[in-house]
Structure 1
Amino acid sequence: MGFFLMIASWSLAAPYDGSPDEFDHVVRAVGVVSGEVAPPEADAKRGTGAFQTVPAGLVRANCWAFDPMKSAACAEPPSADATPVVAPSGAGRYYPAYYAVVGLPLKWWPGWSGLLIARLLSGALSAALLAGALVSIVRCSRHRLMLAGLLVAVTPMATYMASAINPNGMEMAAGVAFFTALIPLLVGRTKGATTGLLWLAGLSGLALAVLRASSLLWLAVGFIAFLVPWRSQNLRPLLSRKATWPWVIGIGAAGLSAVVWILAMNTTDLGDYTGGRILTASQAWMIEAENWRGYLDQMIGVTGWLDTRMSGVFYLTWQLAAGALLLASLVVARRIDRWRMLLLLGGGVLVPAYMEVRFANETGFITQGRYVLPMLAGVVLFAAFVLEERAVAAPYARTIVRLTALLLLPIHLICLLYTMARWQRGLPEVGERGITSLDPRLGDWHPIVGSATPIVAQILGLLIVGALVWIVSVRPAAEVMTSPSAESETNGRVDGKALTRPESAIAGDGSPTVSTA
């Protein structure tokens, strides 16, 4: 419920087409449920996309995008006009699975009612994946330090995009859930929760296989990172379970169907955003290197149409939290941990950077931070896993989790306030902003449910998630006293016996051993 309220607050607060490309995805969703599943390739948007038939009430121009000082009041709201019209969509040839799920409310009830139902439906699916990730961490994380990784991975941008009609939002939630399940399944401690982890890994893996073309890369990199080096003890317990094979076959079949669709429908043709400029390879790499500074902020929360920024201190706080987890984990990691981290970073950073440079003169620089967030979520989750397995005792893990919650959860509300102010009245220049600039009661545009409702929903969601994380960050006393892998809170002792860490323990599963000498 907590994650759903956090996501729903954005769904209720946003104007129509309030997030990037929502109109394109709305058109595609209605087209799919209307039977236009595989429309012919057309020059619908910058040389790509397709045309779809949609209710006229959903066809609206966006007059405020890219201008943060302009409110959404200039735009005509969606209406119940069901007159069929043909509309262009840059997403017109995307894989239809996601759109078949969210499209019916838009077709049956064009206007605000259908739009909000579709948004909340999409958000509920993402919230369910995030809830599954939290439950899996509580059951399988050694000291529940992976909760800190979860808090870092679920950024305001993740909940913002999950609230819109856009498969990228669900892709982020699926990425978080997938890595949360895959890490304990293949390299961690399942503690008898294998069935739940299989379901979470299977469902999120299926989602990643069909949501977006880039999702297939995250799926492949995740498996490769945690299956290398190939060891039978990693896979034998899983492959010996009959419940594993339907998920393996299902994900493989879904991934294969997605590849066939991509090739047949030419969905990797993303249009021409070059502006006619031709770059050398070195120029393209320099531009790409500069762009990553912006991508890091976008992963946290540059909302609107990449036109709404919070104060810089909030981005810095989030990035420091993520960097602290990553650097600390590299210090205590074993060699295999570092190789896995390198593979994850390569998949989330180097591969997208190379692809953008490779096609810079054909498509331009179209990457955004939100596109790589599903993969980099796996990086911070694995960093937290390494820390709790190799170095951090239970009391310190609890402190890290709680401090992370105190630092990061309020930024979700702050990001919502900044964005609502941008939609409702426009944000003034940075030097002219004050506290009253974020007052949700002001402005010439307001959400259809009122300005207070999204804020209350966000606060309730944050309180629920924060309280839950705070409570479960402490392991049960009985588990701490009886588990041989649980360190006591004083001077490295377990059950009154001194701890040692011989090479044999470090080379094994990283657990402390007990010496009675």
Structure 2
Amino acid sequence: MSRTVSPWRRPAFARRTWLPAFAAFALLAVAWSLAMPADGTTDERQHLERAYGAVTGHLLAPQALDPLVHRPGAAFEVPKSLLPPNALCVYFPNYHQTESWVARAASCQHPAPDDHAKVRVVSWVGRYNPLFYLGVGGPLRFWPDMKGILLSRILAALFSSAFAAAAAVVAIRTRRPLLLAALLTVLTPTTVALSSTVNPNGIEITAALLLWVCLVDLARPASARWAVPAGGSGRRVVSPVPAADPVSPSSHPSYPSHSSASSLSSASATPTGVLARFRNAMRLDSDSAAVSQPALLALAAISGAVVLTVRAEGPFWFALALGGSLAAAEPGRVKELLRWRTARLVAVAWAVIGLLAVAWDVVSGNNKVTQTLIATHPADHRVLTLLRIIAVNRVGGWFTEAFALDVQAPWAPMLWAVLAAVVLIPLAMVRSRRVVAVALAVAAASLGITVVLEIKYLGTLGWSQYGRYFLPGLAGTAVLLASGPVAELPPVLRRRIPRLFAVGAAFCQLWVLVVEMTRVQAGPYAPLNPFAGSWHPAVGSLTVLAVATLGAAALIALVWTATAVETAADTAAPVVPAPAEPQVVPEPANS
């Protein structure tokens, strides 16, 4: 039997996809890390104090009230050199000139003392789960100053970029460029900015994105043997060439057979054996464009554990991802997964981690919120009144803030919404009604929990919810719509739509960064100019823009290459089957 293997299916090409994807996202995030002053992004001062406390052994510091907003938190002893004494002058608030604080350029900050003597501070995130802070706060222990802050930011950026790159690699290896474009709808400038700072919200979004990709692919596996017939007739041609069933875990070549289980048991008991089995699970088969089921489960296990622990809402987003994926699962797929022993072990691990995460929130008192000094809210607290105010005055701001974190970029969110619609609407039109219904339900649940929390904390925190909070849930809507096969769409759309979005997304990422640099360098109302102003990053504004431009170019090149290989795979010589006649299976309507 002879056949032509497209460049997409070559394992060398597939292995090379992770590094360009990682570089694209990491360069964009690192540019933000370098561009911002101390406490230049939302609540970073609080998270930096928590990170320093965590890496110096204060995992559960004494409770205290934050003197600024009167929120309960934890007290730490931090070096005076860690932050400027008036770090808040840059950020809080940004645009409300009628409030008592008015945002200014970063030159308003007094230099941080060159003094490692300790001072008592109270952080309202001081009792958050310490795992994220232990992962990124190490540099602060050795360099409790701006150098340590930059290194901790870069660590956070690299962690988040690794999750985003892994999700992109799954899309690329499985020849789904429209899924790659859909992932970018969640990786907004806000997500990149949060990923670049010491704030667990960024890694929560990117880990949730990867979790959705892995769970949906495990629940609705697509056969690598299905090809698009010539002429786009909308039928699936199933080759009679013997192949491992992509739906059944036990039939995958990465799984040991029963006969070889005894021989593997002794070898796999050693650390070297465990690493060897993990590398084997993550390997791409030489004749398949699919990602192995063990690889998907391994990535899901890691990303799920992160989502469960980094923020208090993590168990909800994890449950939504798991429930949404199971609701869209193929018939009988859940039973097949439950027969897989490794899947059962991962489920048990998730349950234990989730229970520990909830227990931490209860024991630490994170769920106890008292009246803050800056809470503003309407006098009428009737639910219908609040829902009307939220619908009219809050939802629009949520979506704007989900796109651009701390700045106003009036036309850019609209451009992003148009590009996202160009990607997601065609995908919704070729999905089954069940998958579309699940995707809409996930979006409704994501917005619904935000509304519920807004009303719950209105009397204590005031208007406290933001668009960045529901991005881990909206990731599921994009993934559910984009994960299935797209044979129904013409090849020209499968090529041009991702490229259009990649160019638009890269431009929006650079534009929002330029607006943000103008804000911190010259103030929120200065004319747009990333090179002007009374403050500049330590590495220089030109260096920051050069790093960001490289990231944007790498992002475009990544999508361009993926769509070029997709085109090559569509036009490659067809597989020459065995003498047996291929079986033609009609494609279900609207699937």
Letter in 2 for 1:422: R
* Larger displacement relative to structure 2 (172-181 or 242-251): 242-251
Task: Quote the offset at 1:34 in angstroms.
Answer: 1.6
Residues 247 and 58 (structure 1), Cα distance of their counterparts in 2 relative to 1, 3 Å cut: same
Secondary structure of residue in 2 paired with 1:85? strand
- The yes-or-no answer on 1:346 pairing with 2:444 is yes
- The 5 Å alignment of 1:210-249 reads 210-228=309-327, 233-249=332-348
**Which residue of 2 is the match for residue 449 of structure 1?**
539
* Larger displacement relative to structure 2 (474-483 or 286-295): 474-483
The answer to whether the 8 Å contact 2:213/2:483 transfers is: no
- The 5 Å alignment of 1:32-431 reads 32-44=54-66, 45-59=69-83, 60-61=85-86, 62-65=88-91, 66-67=93-94, 70-78=104-112, 80-141=114-175, 143-189=176-222, 191-228=290-327, 233-273=332-372, 274-275=375-376, 277-278=378-379, 279-290=381-392, 291-303=394-406, 308-310=407-409, 312-385=410-483, 388-389=485-486, 391-428=488-525
Task: Quote the offset at 1:50 in angstroms.
Answer: 1.5
Letter in 1 for 2:483: F
Partner Cα separation in structure 2 for residue 99 and residue 106 of structure 1: 10
TM-score for the superposition, normalised by structure 2: 0.76
Task: Quote the offset at 1:161 in angstroms.
Answer: 0.7
Secondary structure of residue in 1 paired with 2:177? coil
Task: Quote the offset at 1:118 in angstroms.
Answer: 0.5
Partner Cα separation in structure 2 for residue 319 and residue 337 of structure 1: 21
User: Identity across aligned pairs (percent)?
Assistant: 28
**Cα-Cα RMSD:** 2.6
Secondary structure of residue in 2 paired with 1:381? helix
Residues 285 and 390 (structure 1), Cα distance of their counterparts in 2 relative to 1, 3 Å cut: farther
Query: How many equivalent pairs are there?
Result: 481
Task: Quote the offset at 1:339 in angstroms.
Answer: 2.5
Secondary structure of residue in 2 paired with 1:438? coil
Task: Quote the offset at 1:501 in angstroms.
Answer: 8.6
Secondary structure of residue in 1 paired with 2:332? helix
The answer to whether the 8 Å contact 2:531/2:541 transfers is: yes
The answer to whether the 8 Å contact 2:430/2:486 transfers is: no
Task: Quote the offset at 1:200 in angstroms.
Answer: 1.9
CA offsets per residue over residues 310-354 of structure 1, 9 Å max, x none?
A: 2x2211111122234444444333221123113311221112212
Letter in 2 for 1:218: W
Residues 326 and 256 (structure 1), Cα distance of their counterparts in 2 relative to 1, 3 Å cut: same
Task: Quote the offset at 1:419 in angstroms.
Answer: 0.5
Secondary structure of residue in 2 paired with 1:352? helix
Letter in 1 for 2:105: S
CA offsets per residue over residues 190-224 of structure 1, 9 Å max, x none?
A: 63522222222111111101010112111101111
Secondary structure of residue in 2 paired with 1:414? helix
Letter in 1 for 2:79: P
Letter in 1 for 2:404: G
Letter in 2 for 1:398: R
The answer to whether the 8 Å contact 1:81/1:110 transfers is: no
* Larger displacement relative to structure 2 (158-167 or 178-187): 178-187
* Larger displacement relative to structure 2 (52-61 or 72-81): 72-81
Partner Cα separation in structure 1 for residue 457 and residue 40 of structure 2: 29
**Greater relative CO, 1 or 2 (CA 8 Å, sep 6+):** 2
Partner Cα separation in structure 1 for residue 150 and residue 211 of structure 2: 27
**Which residue of 2 is the match for residue 493 of structure 1?**
none
Partner Cα separation in structure 2 for residue 326 and residue 269 of structure 1: 39
* Larger displacement relative to structure 2 (467-476 or 204-213): 467-476
The answer to whether the 8 Å contact 2:450/2:469 transfers is: no
Secondary structure of residue in 1 paired with 2:520? helix
Residues 183 and 77 (structure 1), Cα distance of their counterparts in 2 relative to 1, 3 Å cut: farther
Partner Cα separation in structure 1 for residue 185 and residue 78 of structure 2: 38
The answer to whether the 8 Å contact 1:325/1:383 transfers is: no
CA offsets per residue over residues 269-294 of structure 1, 9 Å max, x none?
A: 34535337542212211122120101
Partner Cα separation in structure 2 for residue 239 and residue 222 of structure 1: 17
Secondary structure of residue in 2 paired with 1:51? strand
Residues 393 and 79 (structure 1), Cα distance of their counterparts in 2 relative to 1, 3 Å cut: farther
Letter in 1 for 2:391: A
TM-score for the superposition, normalised by structure 1: 0.87
The answer to whether the 8 Å contact 2:39/2:90 transfers is: no
Partner Cα separation in structure 1 for residue 452 and residue 94 of structure 2: 31
Residues 165 and 242 (structure 1), Cα distance of their counterparts in 2 relative to 1, 3 Å cut: same
Partner Cα separation in structure 2 for residue 39 and residue 138 of structure 1: 45
Residues 236 and 216 (structure 1), Cα distance of their counterparts in 2 relative to 1, 3 Å cut: same
**Which residue of 2 is the match for residue 505 of structure 1?**
588
The answer to whether the 8 Å contact 1:295/1:368 transfers is: yes
* Larger displacement relative to structure 2 (452-461 or 172-181): 172-181
